[in-house]
Structure 1
Amino acid sequence: MDELELLKKDWKKAETEFKHLSDTEIYPMLHKKSSSIIKTLFYISIAEFTFWILVNTLPYFLSDNYREKLETSYENPLFVGLSLLSMGVIVLFIYLLFKAYKSISITDNAKKLMESILHTRKVIKYYVIFNLAMVFISIPLSLYFEFNQNPEFHDQVASMDSTQMFVLYAITVVVTGVIILIFWLFYRLIYGILLKRLNRNYDELKKLEV
């Protein structure tokens, strides 16, 4: 019982000391935490970029059928444009996160740190929206390419009646919705947790500015 009371006293003492920390003591803590969070986001973005490269590259070398379909797809300018756009956006996202990390690392001003946090939040928000939009576009486009490049699938769709076509459209919508939901949950889990911590740091910095 005595040990428990001592533990409570030590805890209260630590809380009191934290509450009485000066602005000059709190700022370096928030600065270090924000820098660490953005650095983690940067590493995650590199891991994601590497993952998508492997997903698109390994099947090309491991499957002759996939290689033939991919080579045929690259004859379509729209497919090439979307692929380049997607990769370009990921590279830009990595660059912007790295730039934000460098900016936070060298700043010693609370206002500039807050601006960097706001900028990082916007970059991640737009990146997630772009990826969800790409998923929404890519699934119907994949069916379109399959319809034009796969004679067997083309004949099956061409022979469908109105009810079967409705079922095909319904399945496409449901599958698209499920995949978008999975991607949204993934980004919500990976980026959302870190963004919440970044938001807390921003709120604390805002209090220091008041």
Structure 2
Amino acid sequence: MDELELLKKHWQSDTVEEKQLSSKDLYPMLWKKSSSIVKTLFYISIAELIFWVAITFLPKLSTSYREQVESTHINETLLTTLTIISFVVILLFIYLLYKAYKSISVTDNAKKLMESILSTRKVIKYYVGYNLVMAFVSMILGSYYATQTDPKVAELMTKSDTSGKLLVAGLIIVITVIFVGLIWLFYKLLYGILMKRLNRNYKELKKLEV
């Protein structure tokens, strides 16, 4: 059991006067932990940006990759637009997390700290939600272009009857759902643990405000 947990148990058993005194000791610990969590989230977002930049641009250095893209006649304008939007969102996410971290770092007020924690939680939820939507849209668009531009897939769809086409559509939907689910699980593991800790700190701060 860490020092914060011991202090919390002691604080809960104190009288009103003692609680007022103990809260002065409890608040700096909650502030320090919250600041550390948001800072970690910020570093994770930087690492994620580097990761997406690498997997987006490194393959383009390969001649075989460029030839494959050209052979499938993918709408490069749409692909470039989606890529730019994704990077803009990630950069905005990084900025908002950095802003939240700076806000937590300089505040000495429990109410403002609670507001910063709430703001951070909203940013994370919106960001994860956006990425799940983008993953779904990307899979649907990718599947559509595959059926329209890939010669082998297009030939298969042409030869298939209605039930065959429905089977392919159902398979695409299942694969899309699994793909989006894996991404959700990834973010759940990546951000979920830290968000739970941040949420615990918020609840403890709320008790101090009572």
Counterpart CA distance in 1 for 2:68 and 2:81 is 17
Normalising by structure 2, we get a TM-score of 0.86
Give the C-alpha shift of residue 16 in structure 1. Answer: 7.2
Corresponding position of 1:19: 10
The answer on 1:73 being equivalent to 2:74 is yes
What 5-or-longer segments of structure 2 have no aligned partner? Answer: 12-20
The answer on 1:137 being equivalent to 2:128 is no
- In the TM superposition, 1:136-155 aligns within 5 A as 136-155=136-155
Counterpart CA distance in 1 for 2:126 and 2:37 is 18
Give the C-alpha shift of residue 163 in structure 1. Answer: 2.0
Give the C-alpha shift of residue 120 in structure 1. Answer: 0.3
CA distances 1:132-179 after superposition (whole Å, capped 9, x unpaired):
111111111012222333233222222221122112111101111111
Counterpart CA distance in 1 for 2:116 and 2:42 is 14
CA distances 1:164-200 after superposition (whole Å, capped 9, x unpaired):
2112111101111111111111111111100000000
Corresponding position of 1:5: none
Counterpart CA distance in 2 for 1:122 and 1:183 is 19
Residue identity over aligned pairs, in percent, reads: 53
Give the C-alpha shift of residue 18 in structure 1. Answer: 5.7
Counterpart CA distance in 2 for 1:172 and 1:179 is 10
Counterpart CA distance in 2 for 1:179 and 1:112 is 39
Normalising by structure 1, we get a TM-score of 0.86
What 5-or-longer segments of structure 1 have no aligned partner? Answer: 1-10
Name whichever of 20-29 and 127-136 sits farther off: 20-29
Give the C-alpha shift of residue 68 in structure 1. Answer: 3.1
Query: Is the Cα contact below 8 Å between 2:8 and 2:26 reproduced in 1?
Result: no
The number of equivalent residue pairs is 196
Name whichever of 64-73 and 166-175 sits farther off: 64-73
Q: CA RMSD in A?
A: 2.1
Counterpart CA distance in 2 for 1:189 and 1:34 is 19
